[in-house]
Amino acid sequence: MDSVMVNDLAKKFNMFGRFEKTPFAGTNMMEVVYRAVKRNGQFSGVTQCEVERALGRWFTGSRDREGGRKRRQAAPPAK
């Protein structure tokens, strides 16, 4: 996914549109990613649910990428 979507855009998505984010499930890009995974012989038996679960974890981690976690940990606690 890193080669398909930049991290700033990934932060605006999640799989099902919860928390006022844009849903990735149901998009044309989701279908493209799923078909690409299925074409890989190692993952040819994967289900769409498994791909959605993996992508969900990838989107969840987007706020920690590119130093995001380090910046949040260095910030003073909110009052």
Q: What is the pTM of this model?
A: 0.72
pLDDT in tens, the chain (79 residues): 888 899 889 899 999 999 999 999 999 999 999 999 999 989 999 999 999 999 999 998 887 776 666 666 776 766 6
Tell me the C-alpha distance between 22 and 20, whole Å: 7
Return the bridge partners of 14, or none.
23
pLDDT of residue 75: 65
Please state the φ and ψ torsions of residue 27, each to the nearest 5 degrees: -85, 160
So where are the chain's domains?
A: 7-74
Report the b/e string of 27-40 with b at 16+ CB within 10 A. Answer: eeebeebbeebeee
Closest CA to 31 of 55, 66, 9, 58: 55
pLDDT of residue 54: 94
pLDDT of residue 64: 72
